[in-house]
Structure 1
Amino acid sequence: MGKILVTGGTGYIGAHTVVELQNNGYEVVIIDNLSNSDIKILTQIETITGKKPGFVKLDLRDKSLIIEFLKEHTDISGVIHFAASKSVSESVKNPLLYYDNNISTLVNLLNSLSDKQVNFVFSSSCTVYGEPDILPVTEQAEIKKAESPYGNTKQIGEEILKETANATDNLKVIALRYFNPVGAHQSALIGELPNGVPQNLVPFITQTAIGKREQLTVFGDKFDTPDGSCIRDFIHVVDLAKAHVAAIKRMEAKQMAAAYEVFNVGTGNGYSVLELIHTFEKVTGKQLNYRIGPPRDGDIVKIWGDVSLAEKELSWKAENDLTSMLSSAWAWENYINNNPLN
């Protein structure tokens, strides 16, 4: 099996993907600047898989460091690129941070890899669709003006990758447009571990339930949805991680129909924020202290995906339901509360 470079590999989705890669026999080396993750995650990965992945602390905004890294790792055959800032609300408040961290890092990485034959999986997002006209949204849907700088960086990133892949024989790219990853590994040894106040819904739910946060805010309850709250397609992070492995295998088997491909990765089901909260309460027996707040800038009202293309072409399918997602997230919260990494 080849050596896979995973940028942002100590982060939430990255760590779960490293586990799945190693479980499938791949050698993994991680680049991460640890801005929103913890180095101790490497030990957790080793406990799960029996092997600690390679690791280099590196900021992809420094191209010279990437070049030096690649000189020492000449046998890299694939790259899975997670390293990016990922909060919609934060991107609205600080757009330059997002353009610097999400776009310049991608360009630096591609420039550094330009003389290598590389299979490249890009961590994209359903935010590229904006507010879709038709649901479920397919890969052929119109790419509208992004609702946030974060979403715009994913649109720009896809454009850069598509144009670069079409201009060279060295680069093959699969962009995975995924929906809302939640949950944790079944071992409860890795999960979502945000630094500071969580930007995503489920860790805020679990931290409120366990007492780390006083109250959870639901941003809006007057939208055009059955209960007034936003609707999302939530996917278990382990299912999402397995999709990345499937993408690498598709490229290795030379099954791609073009140099650049894109796939939706979700469950194909939409759940509202309030539905998620009530399901968590039912699954865990914990009552959540939450309030209704004003809508946030940049938020999409409702979106869920048509994932039939990924199921067909990647031979992949999401297997975990909402109960599994939330129970695993709660198990992780309890684990990390009793065994803090920091």
Structure 2
Amino acid sequence: MPRTILVTGGAGFIGSHTCVELLRVGHEVVVLDDHSNSCPEVLERVAKTAGRPVAAAHVADVRDRRALDEVFDRHPIDAVIHFAAKKAVGESVRIPVTYYDINVGGTTTLVSAMHDHGVHRLVFSSSCSIYGNATTVPLTEDSPAAPTNPYATTKWTCERILADLCRHVPEMRVLALRYFNPAGAHPDGELGEDPRGVPNNIMPFLTQIAVGRRDELSVFGDDYPTPDGTGIRDYLHVMDVADGHRAALDHIDDEPGMRVLNLGTGRGASVLDLVTVFEEVTGRPIPYRVTARRPGDVAELVADPTKAMAHWGWTARRDLAAMCRDAWNFQQRNPYGYAP
């Protein structure tokens, strides 16, 4: 059933692709984004890709309660998807207080505004980093939380706050999606990952090297207990992530309270595996240099995605080659990202 969905951080990498998917299936979308790590032009591209625009776009910080009240007063919001947060592991180690302020403070301000305006459906953008240094993989939703950096701790803290909220507010429905490493771009090349400054994620670093904007990739450590010594991650196409949020909205009323689901492929790839696939897909060499481990990183994070399949019929449909191909297509079409 079509609903009006507020998407915080809707102009960001995952947010923009999710907006396209929501518009595609008939929802009305209201975006709130402060553009601290996104570009306003993205929403024009969302409209082009989806065939229709978002209903409204508000430029504001998710911690701004007055701005949130205005959004809820002006639009008949049925549910919220909350992406707006800082997300870089290494940066969070350097500026932990900022991460707690934005990620935790933004979430509590948002749910307070939701509750006061009678909105009780929330899809929360969580993270596999919550699992930390896992002793066994793949990781199920019941694997113990053991965050190793402030970013992961903020996500785990938000989950605990939301779970407690659901215990005290019976009408609340929360789905926390712990997705693994989103990568790729929309296949049409209009939307992709365009971080400001030096990328914190590996895929845009690879594409920027391939297009000539950067010289080499820094591989943070080759002494992990993995087959080639580099970290292993479960890379997930951003279009599959967007589809996971669409599915979450479809099923948010299935049960009351707080639920947690992994979104992943169940297949891990090391940093060097990813470099090899990227070179094969693009035909571009990727020079790299091994450096020291990055504080807060762990050896391996791979999802067990069977719960999402069993409950929703959701499964990741795109492989690592598709992620590389679509990310490279976006970079070729937009050598300097969304900049004119």
2:130 partner amino acid: V
State how far apart, in whole Å, the 2-side matches of 1:45 and 1:179 are. 24
Are 2:202 and 1:201 aligned?
yes
**Paired position in structure 2 for 1:331:** 329
Partner of 2:166: 165
Matched residue, 1:223: 224
Q: 1:68 aligns with which of 70, 74, 84?
A: 70
Post-superposition shift, 1:247? Answer: 0.4
**Does the aligned pair in 1 maintain the 2:194–2:338 contact within 8 Å?**
no
* Deviant stretches of 4+, over 6 Å: none
Structure 1 Cα separation of the partners of residues 47 and 246 of structure 2 = 18
Q: Distance in 2 between matches of 1:314 and 1:94?
A: 38
- Counterpart position of 2:287: 289
What is the match of residue 30 of structure 1?
31
Question: Any idea what SS the aligned residue of 2:108 has?
Answer: helix
Query: For the Cα contact (< 8 Å) 2:261–2:307, is it kept in 1?
Result: yes
- Paired residue secondary structure (1:181): strand
Percent identity reads: 41
Give the deviation of 1:29 after TM superposition.
0.3
Match 1:56 to one of 55, 58, 71: 58
Q: Partner of 2:250: helix, strand, or coil?
A: helix
1:27-83 deviation line (CA, Å, top 9, x unaligned): 00000000000000011111111111120001112212211221112x111100000
Q: How far does residue 338 in structure 1 lie from its aligned partner after superposition?
A: 7.0
Are residue 269 (structure 1) and residue 267 (structure 2) matched?
yes
For residues 171 and 80 of structure 2, the distance between their equivalents in structure 1, rounded to whole angstroms, comes to 13
Correspondence for 2:138: 136
For the pair 1:120 / 2:119, whether they are aligned, the reply is no
TM-score (normalizing by structure 1): 0.97
Mark the runs of 5 or more structure 1 residues left unpaired by the alignment: none
**SS of match in other structure, 2:130:** helix
Aligned-partner SS, 2:323: helix
Alignment CA distance shift 1:90-1:338 (3 Å): closer
Aligned 8 A contact 1:235 1:267 in 2? yes
Shift of 1:236: 0.2
Query: 2 CA distance for matches of 1:339 and 1:302?
Result: 30
Please state if 1:306 is matched with 2:309. no
Contact 2:34 2:61 in 1 (8 A): yes
State the TM-score, normalizing by the size of structure 2. Answer: 0.97
Instruction: Name the amino acid aligned to 1:241.
Output: A
Q: Which residue of 2 aligns with 1:246?
A: 247
- Structure-2 separation of matches of 1:163 and 1:259: 9
Contact in 1 for aligned 2:267/2:303 (Cα 8 Å): yes
Shift of 1:121: 0.2
**In 2, Cα distance between the equivalents of 1:255 and 1:292?**
47
Secondary structure class of the residue paired with 2:115: coil
Distance across 1 between alignment mates of 2:250 and 2:174: 12
Counterpart position of 1:79:
80
> Counterpart of 2:300 in 1: which secondary structure?
coil
SS of 1:337's partner is: coil
Q: What SS is found at the alignment partner of 2:261?
A: strand
* C-alpha deviation, 1:339, in angstroms: 7.2
Q: Distance in 1 between matches of 2:334 and 2:60?
A: 26
Tell me the amino acid that sits aligned with residue 324 of structure 1.
A
Alignment partners' CA distance in 1, 2:7 and 2:238: 16
The CA deviation at 1:118 is 2.3
Is 2:150 aligned against 1:149? yes
Which residue in 1 is equivalent to 2:18?
A: 17
Matched residues, number: 337
Task: Supply the AA of the counterpart residue of 2:231.
Answer: C
Task: State the match for 1:182 in structure 2.
Answer: 183
**Alignment RMSD (CA, Å):** 1.1
CA distance in 2, matches of 1:264, 1:60: 25
Verify the 8 A CA contact 1:117 1:170 in the aligned structure 2: no
Deviation at 1:340, TM superposition (A): 4.3
Q: Confirm whether residue 255 of structure 1 aligns to residue 257 of structure 2.
A: no
Distance 1:213 1:339 in 2: 14
CA contact (8 A) 2:194 2:337 kept: no
Q: Distance in 1 between matches of 2:221 and 2:336?
A: 33
AA paired with 2:180?
F
- Kept in 1: contact 2:128–2:178 (CA 8 A): yes
Secondary structure at 2:335 match in 1: helix
